[in-house]
Protein backbone atom coordinates (compact mmCIF):
# COMPACT_ATOMS: atom_id res chain seq x y z
CA UNK A 1 0.00 0.00 0.00
CA UNK A 2 1.18 3.52 -0.77
CA UNK A 3 1.38 5.72 2.31
CA UNK A 4 3.15 8.73 3.76
CA UNK A 5 5.65 8.21 6.55
CA UNK A 6 6.42 11.06 8.94
CA UNK A 7 9.65 10.84 10.92
CA UNK A 8 12.56 13.03 12.00
CA UNK A 9 13.62 13.41 8.35
CA UNK A 10 10.20 14.77 7.31
CA UNK A 11 7.28 13.31 5.37
CA UNK A 12 8.05 10.88 2.56
CA UNK A 13 6.08 8.79 0.13
CA UNK A 14 6.62 5.11 0.85
CA UNK A 15 4.89 1.77 0.93
CA UNK A 16 3.71 -0.22 3.91
CA UNK A 17 6.21 -2.93 2.92
CA UNK A 18 9.13 -0.49 3.10
CA UNK A 19 7.97 1.02 6.39
CA UNK A 20 7.06 -2.21 8.16
CA UNK A 21 9.00 -4.95 6.38
CA UNK A 22 12.42 -5.02 8.05
CA UNK A 23 13.35 -6.00 11.59
CA UNK A 24 11.03 -6.04 14.57
CA UNK A 25 8.35 -3.39 14.24
CA UNK A 26 5.65 -2.38 16.68
CA UNK A 27 2.76 -0.90 14.75
CA UNK A 28 0.02 0.68 16.80
CA UNK A 29 -3.07 2.07 15.16
CA UNK A 30 -5.35 4.76 16.50
CA UNK A 31 -8.71 6.11 15.33
CA UNK A 32 -7.40 9.68 15.06
CA UNK A 33 -4.53 12.01 15.80
CA UNK A 34 -5.24 14.46 18.63
CA UNK A 35 -8.44 12.62 19.63
CA UNK A 36 -8.75 12.38 23.42
CA UNK A 37 -7.94 8.72 24.08
CA UNK A 38 -5.31 8.54 21.34
CA UNK A 39 -3.56 11.73 22.44
CA UNK A 40 -3.82 11.30 26.22
CA UNK A 41 -3.71 7.52 26.74
CA UNK A 42 -2.35 5.64 23.73
CA UNK A 43 0.54 7.60 22.19
CA UNK A 44 2.08 8.76 25.51
CA UNK A 45 2.60 5.16 26.64
CA UNK A 46 4.71 4.44 23.57
CA UNK A 47 6.69 7.64 24.00
CA UNK A 48 7.38 6.83 27.68
CA UNK A 49 8.32 3.21 26.92
CA UNK A 50 10.30 3.78 23.73
CA UNK A 51 13.66 2.89 25.31
CA UNK A 52 12.21 -0.24 26.97
CA UNK A 53 10.76 -1.37 23.63
CA UNK A 54 14.10 -0.80 21.92
CA UNK A 55 15.85 -2.75 24.70
CA UNK A 56 13.52 -5.67 23.86
CA UNK A 57 14.78 -5.62 20.26
CA UNK A 58 12.23 -3.34 18.61
CA UNK A 59 13.79 -1.64 15.59
CA UNK A 60 10.93 0.70 14.72
CA UNK A 61 7.79 1.96 16.44
CA UNK A 62 5.11 3.18 14.04
CA UNK A 63 1.82 4.89 14.81
CA UNK A 64 -0.78 4.62 12.05
CA UNK A 65 -3.92 6.67 11.68
CA UNK A 66 -6.39 7.65 8.99
CA UNK A 67 -5.23 11.26 8.91
CA UNK A 68 -3.23 13.16 6.33
CA UNK A 69 0.53 13.54 6.75
CA UNK A 70 0.22 17.22 7.74
CA UNK A 71 -1.92 16.28 10.75
CA UNK A 72 0.36 13.38 11.62
CA UNK A 73 3.42 15.67 11.48
CA UNK A 74 1.73 18.23 13.73
CA UNK A 75 0.80 15.46 16.17
CA UNK A 76 4.33 14.01 16.16
CA UNK A 77 5.80 17.44 16.86
CA UNK A 78 3.16 18.50 19.38
CA UNK A 79 3.43 15.29 21.39
CA UNK A 80 7.22 15.21 21.55
CA UNK A 81 7.26 11.89 19.70
CA UNK A 82 9.12 13.06 16.60
CA UNK A 83 12.41 11.19 16.37
CA UNK A 84 11.19 8.43 18.70
CA UNK A 85 8.17 7.13 16.83
CA UNK A 86 7.41 7.14 13.11
CA UNK A 87 3.91 8.15 12.02
CA UNK A 88 2.10 6.58 9.09
CA UNK A 89 -0.60 8.62 7.38
CA UNK A 90 -3.22 6.30 5.88
CA UNK A 91 -5.44 9.08 4.56
CA UNK A 92 -7.70 6.84 2.48
CA UNK A 93 -7.85 3.99 5.03
CA UNK A 94 -6.32 1.60 2.48
CA UNK A 95 -3.89 0.04 4.95
CA UNK A 96 -6.59 -0.11 7.62
CA UNK A 97 -8.78 -2.03 5.15
CA UNK A 98 -5.97 -4.33 4.01
CA UNK A 99 -5.12 -5.23 7.62
CA UNK A 100 -8.77 -5.86 8.48
CA UNK A 101 -8.67 -3.04 11.01
CA UNK A 102 -10.98 -0.53 9.31
CA UNK A 103 -13.98 0.53 11.38
CA UNK A 104 -16.88 2.82 10.52
CA UNK A 105 -16.92 5.81 12.87
CA UNK A 106 -19.50 7.66 10.75
CA UNK A 107 -21.82 7.84 13.76
CA UNK A 108 -19.25 10.14 15.36
CA UNK A 109 -18.69 12.11 12.14
CA UNK A 110 -15.24 10.58 11.60
CA UNK A 111 -15.86 8.21 8.69
CA UNK A 112 -13.67 5.15 8.16
CA UNK A 113 -10.84 4.83 10.69
CA UNK A 114 -8.44 2.31 12.20
CA UNK A 115 -9.68 0.24 15.08
CA UNK A 116 -7.52 0.81 18.15
CA UNK A 117 -4.93 -1.95 17.84
CA UNK A 118 -1.26 -2.91 17.89
CA UNK A 119 0.82 -5.56 16.18
CA UNK A 120 4.24 -7.10 16.35
CA UNK A 121 5.72 -7.48 12.88
CA UNK A 122 8.97 -9.39 12.26
CA UNK A 123 10.55 -8.89 8.85
CA UNK A 124 7.19 -8.08 7.29
CA UNK A 125 5.28 -10.96 8.89
CA UNK A 126 2.68 -10.21 11.54
CA UNK A 127 3.51 -12.22 14.68
CA UNK A 128 0.73 -10.96 16.93
CA UNK A 129 -2.28 -8.65 16.78
CA UNK A 130 -3.86 -6.92 19.76
CA UNK A 131 -7.26 -5.30 19.11
CA UNK A 132 -9.18 -3.39 21.75
CA UNK A 133 -12.61 -4.87 22.37
CA UNK A 134 -13.98 -1.77 24.09
CA UNK A 135 -13.18 1.82 24.88
CA UNK A 136 -9.82 2.73 26.37
CA UNK A 137 -6.29 1.43 25.95
CA UNK A 138 -5.53 -1.99 27.38
CA UNK A 139 -4.57 -4.74 24.92
CA UNK A 140 -2.90 -2.36 22.45
CA UNK A 141 -0.98 -0.14 24.87
CA UNK A 142 2.78 -0.08 25.35
CA UNK A 143 2.68 -2.07 28.65
CA UNK A 144 0.77 -4.90 26.94
CA UNK A 145 3.23 -4.91 24.03
CA UNK A 146 6.19 -5.03 26.43
CA UNK A 147 4.58 -7.99 28.19
CA UNK A 148 4.03 -9.76 24.85
CA UNK A 149 7.69 -9.21 23.93
CA UNK A 150 8.78 -10.66 27.28
CA UNK A 151 6.61 -13.73 26.81
CA UNK A 152 7.93 -14.22 23.26
CA UNK A 153 11.50 -14.02 24.51
CA UNK A 154 11.03 -16.73 27.13
Per the annotation, the verdict on 38 as an active-site residue is yes
**CA separation for the pair 103, 19 (Å, rounded):** 23
Q: Which residue out of 5, 38, 58, 148 is catalytically annotated?
A: 38
- Phi, psi torsion values for 138, nearest 5 degrees: -130, -75
CA distances from 64 to 72, 117, 127 (A): 9, 10, 18
Long-range contacts of 129-134 (CB under 8 A, 24+ apart): 131/101
The answer to whether 78 and 16 are in contact (CB under 8 A) is no
Catalytic residues: 38
Amino acid sequence: MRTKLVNAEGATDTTSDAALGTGLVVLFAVPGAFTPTCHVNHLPGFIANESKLRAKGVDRIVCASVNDHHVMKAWAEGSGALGKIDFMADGNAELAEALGLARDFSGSGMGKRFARAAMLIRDGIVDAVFIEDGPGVNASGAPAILMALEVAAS
